[in-house]
Amino acid sequence: MVRWARDLSWKAALVGGAGTGLTALIIRLIGVGAASSLSMAHIGLMASGGAVVAFGIFYPLATAADRVFSNILKRLISNDNDNGAALLSATPAWLRSATTEFENALADRMQMERDISVALKESEIRQHVAEASRGHLESVLHSLRDAVVVTDGFNEIVLANESASELFGLNGPSALNGKVEDVIPEQQIVQMIQSMRDSGNVAARRSFEHEINDRNDDRILEVSLSCIPDQSQSGGGVVTILHDVTHERQVSEMKTDIVSKTSHELRTPLSLIKAYIEMLIDGEAQDEESKIEFYHIIQTEAERLERTINNMLNISRIEAGITHGEWDECDVKGVINDVVELSTPRAQEKKIAITHKQSQLCTVAEADRDMIQQVIMNLVSNAIKYSPEGGRITLTTGSSDCDRSILVTVADTGLGIPPDAIPKLFDKFYRIKNYDRVAHGTGLGLNLVKQIVERIHGGEIGVESELGMGSKFWFTIPCKRAA
Amino acid sequence: MTAETGTKKSTILIIDDEKHIVHVVSLKLRNAGYEVISAGDGEEGYEMACDQQPDLIITDHQMPYMTGLEMCHELKKNEETSHIPILMLTARGYALSEEDLKNANILQSISKPFSPRELLDSVKGSLAA
């Protein structure tokens, strides 16, 4: 019987698989049966039933069944062990009770499984949300114009956004986990990251300015560093944010430069007016001729001051969109004739010949006549200023853009323009250095011309020149005003 | 204070690319008894200072080729000209710092618009110092 029971135990264990609790129960049951007078039929029934249950519900239910049968066994043991078999056979309600208890346990177990399944799904959802959140944060980091570099406690790069990769020329994922000193070529930044990590002070933030000198692209960076709290064995890391302030600095310098140049252009004629008036008051003009000379200089400088202020205001108005022009039909040939007539006396002082090669084409455009006259006058005035004695100035009209625009050119035999000056020629206050010895100017005239042609009339302006060989300025204006 | 040191008139070099500034300052100083020489830009001014060894230089700041400040630095570097006192006229919107002035050997910076009368007082003060 014992041998049979051992076989049965082995089979139950085999069928039950992981249901070791159930197998233990059977063995314990056999032990009890061997010691008592438990019938073979009951034992066989128990063992077979256990094996079937184990087979049906596998491991998850095995422990539940284990608990149920343990209870039954305990109950049997706690009762009269000697009469256990009799108890079993004499009380069929026991089986019903056991079945009910088993069913309840099974229901509990299934509920537990459902709860676990729900918990698993919730966990999966939380994981998805966390992944989405991380992805979102990474997208935000990568979209930042500021470069962001995160290093860990070993000074290894754990995150570098796209701006950082671009700034330091990092090669994608290979830069990650690299030592900061191997990846970032800027020694000062590396030292500050290492020093920040060594300090471990999460409350402190350090900022400094760093200049990256590149052959073609110098940059000024505002670098700020802060420590990440220590959350690992490697110790706290460092977040480094690099804000490129190159453009801000350039704008700031440009503003300072414009203020300085404006000041110079206004103060110089004002200086002369004030000085000559004081000289007259102090009787420093010793004869009538000197007095007339002083009056003439005062008048010239007052006109210069007025011209500068007007140019500045006109440019400012056009840029602000306040000036829109007085639109009418304007014959550009007629405007050129007027300019030639007005400029001839000044040109004759230097024996410069002004020629207008009149076009046979229609040169009527919808334009602000006064403004177009100001443009041509300015170009001719420059040509006179920077042409040597005996030079030539030639004005032409033509058409461009399949007769939809009128083309005007002003060519001279003057000094010409250095190639490096051409891109800046129409900038506010730009002056070609060498030209200052030849004639004075505010550096506003050509900027105003450009604003009138391009902003007001929707045309184009440009210059072709060779140093020492003269210059040819050209502009176009559409025949019809854009709707 | 007179315009003469011993038997020799003090010589003042005026450097400005604005010919009327040169004219009005020269006239004021000549009328006060000084010898006046002039240059139209920083380069020319530097060469003239080296050649003529004036007693005082009055220079504009913003000039082509070599600014007034650059020229002053060059003059300070040169042993032959480092002793010459300099007055600087400037029409820029900001004054030069004390350090800039000291580093360039400039005694005083005078903002445009200036008074010829006050400039003459500064010249006298500088030559007496």
Contact B91, A267 (CB under 8 A): yes
The per-residue DSSP string of A240-282 comes to: EEEEE-HHHHHHHHHHHHHHHHHHHHHHHHHHHHHHHHHHHHT
Confidence of residue A435 (pLDDT cuts 50, 70, 90): confident
Confidence of residue A34 (pLDDT cuts 50, 70, 90): very low
Q: Sort out which chain A residues have CB atoms less than 8 A from B91's CB and list them.
A: 263-264, 267-268, 271
Cα separation, A446 vs A429, whole angstroms: 9
Which tens digits make up the pLDDT trace of A450-467? Answer: 999 999 999 999 999 988
Reported ipTM: the value is: 0.90
Instruction: Indicate if the pLDDT at residue A87 is higher than 60.
Output: no
Structure-derived torsion over alpha carbons of residues B51, B53, B54, B58, reported in degrees to the nearest 10: 70
| Residue that has been written with the tokens 């000041």 in this structure | A263
A462 or A175, which is more confident: A462
Give the pLDDT confidence score for residue A155 in this predicted structure: 87
B28 touches chain A (CB under 8 A): yes
Confidence of residue A19 (pLDDT cuts 50, 70, 90): very low
Instruction: Indicate if the pLDDT at residue A4 is higher than 50.
Output: no
Question: Which residues numbered 76-105 in B keep a CB inside 8 Å of some CB on A?
Answer: 91-94
- Cβ neighbour number for residue A54 with a 10 Å cutoff: 27
Instruction: Indicate if the pLDDT at residue A233 is higher than 80.
Output: no
Question: Which residues numbered 290-319 in A keep a CB inside 8 Å of some CB on B?
Answer: 297, 301
Q: Sort out which chain B residues have CB atoms less than 8 A from A273's CB and list them.
A: 113
Which residues are within 8 A (CB) of A390 and not within 5 positions of it... i.e. 6 or more apart? A350, A351, A352
Q: Sort out which chain B residues have CB atoms less than 8 A from A268's CB and list them.
A: 18, 21, 91, 112
| A469-474 mean pLDDT | 94
Q: Which of A257, A265, A271, A290 to mutate to test the interface with B (most CBs of B within 10 A)?
A: A271
B110 touches chain A (CB under 8 A): no
The per-residue DSSP string of A110-138 comes to: HHHHHHHHHHHHHHHHHHHHHHHHHHHHH
A351 or A259, which is more confident: A351
Which tens digits make up the pLDDT trace of A318-367? Answer: 988 888 888 899 999 999 999 999 999 999 999 999 999 987 788 899 99
B106 touches chain A (CB under 8 A): no
Which tens digits make up the pLDDT trace of A102-152? Answer: 889 999 999 999 999 999 999 999 999 999 998 888 888 888 999 999 998
Q: Which of B19, B24, B120 to mutate to test the interface with A (most CBs of A within 10 A)?
A: B24
Residues above pLDDT 90, as percent of chain A: 43
Give the pLDDT confidence score for residue A47 in this predicted structure: 45
Report the residue of chain A nearest B61, measured CA to CA.
A264
∠ CA A317-A320-A323, nearest 5°, is 45
Q: Sort out which chain B residues have CB atoms less than 8 A from A440's CB and list them.
A: 17-18
∠ CA A352-A357-A362, nearest 5°, is 145
B67 touches chain A (CB under 8 A): no
Cα separation, A84 vs A97, whole angstroms: 16
∠ CA A443-A445-A448, nearest 5°, is 115
What tokens appear for A25 in the block? 């129960």
The per-residue DSSP string of A131-190 comes to: HHHHHHHHHHHHH-SSEEEEE-TTSBEEEE-HHHHHHHT--GGGGTTSBHHHH---HHHH
What tokens appear for A21 in the block? 């609790």
Give the pLDDT confidence score for residue A26 in this predicted structure: 31
A228: closest CA of chain B, how far (Å)? 43
A331: closest CA of chain B, how far (Å)? 40
CA–chain centroid gap for A445, Å, is 37
Q: Which of A440, A431, A426, A455 is nearest to A385 (CA)?
A: A440
Cα separation, A407 vs A254, whole angstroms: 33
| A-B Cβ pairs (cutoff 8 Å, strict) | 73
Nearest to B114 among A271, A279, A434 (CB): A271
Contact A372, A330 (CB under 8 A): yes
Report the residue of chain B nearest A435, measured CA to CA.
B64
Inter-chain CB proximity A436 and B112 less than 8 Å: no
Residues above pLDDT 70, as percent of chain A: 77
- Integer CA distances (angstroms), A316 to A153, A244, A401, in order: 55, 29, 30
Q: Sort out which chain A residues have CB atoms less than 8 A from B21's CB and list them.
A: 268, 271-272, 275
Structure-derived torsion over alpha carbons of residues A140, A142, A147, A153, reported in degrees to the nearest 10: 90
Q: How would you classify the pairing of strands B11-15 and B56-60?
A: parallel
B39: closest CA of chain A, how far (Å)? 12
Q: Which of A112, A32, A16 is nearest to A65 (CA)?
A: A16
Instruction: Indicate if the pLDDT at residue A296 is higher than 90.
Output: yes
Q: How would you classify the pairing of strands B86-90 and B106-111?
A: parallel
For the ranges A70-74, A188-192, B31-35, B53-57, which has the lowest average pLDDT?
Answer: A70-74
Confidence of residue A91 (pLDDT cuts 50, 70, 90): low
Cα separation, A46 vs A409, whole angstroms: 115
A393 strand-pairing partners? A354, A412
Q: Which of A278, A298, A304 to mutate to test the interface with B (most CBs of B within 10 A)?
A: A278
Give the pLDDT confidence score for residue A443 in this predicted structure: 84
Instruction: Indicate if the pLDDT at residue A441 is higher than 70.
Output: yes
For the ranges A51-55, A84-88, A417-421, B96-100, which has the lowest average pLDDT?
Answer: A51-55
Q: Is the dihedral of CA A384, A387, A390, A392 positive or negative?
A: negative
Contact A45, A39 (CB under 8 A): no
Confidence of residue A74 (pLDDT cuts 50, 70, 90): low
What tokens appear for A41 in the block? 């039929």
Instruction: Indicate if the pLDDT at residue B1 is higher than 70.
Output: no
For the ranges A201-205, A303-307, B88-92, which has the lowest average pLDDT?
Answer: A201-205
Cα separation, B22 vs B38, whole angstroms: 7
Q: Which of A258, A259, A263 to mutate to test the interface with B (most CBs of B within 10 A)?
A: A263
Give the pLDDT confidence score for residue A294 in this predicted structure: 96
Instruction: Indicate if the pLDDT at residue B35 is higher than 80.
Output: yes
Contact A471, A416 (CB under 8 A): yes
Cα separation, B105 vs B70, whole angstroms: 11
Q: Sort out which chain A residues have CB atoms less than 8 A from B93's CB and list them.
A: 259-260, 262-264
Q: Sort out which chain A residues have CB atoms less than 8 A from B113's CB and list them.
A: 267, 270-271, 273-275
pLDDT, chain A, mean: 81
Cα separation, A60 vs A439, whole angstroms: 101
| B53-76 mean pLDDT | 91
Give the pLDDT confidence score for residue A79 in this predicted structure: 53
Phi, psi of B56 (to 5 degrees): -155, 150
Count CA atoms within 13 Å of residue A244 on its CB side. 16
For the ranges A23-32, A280-289, A417-426, which has the lowest average pLDDT?
Answer: A23-32
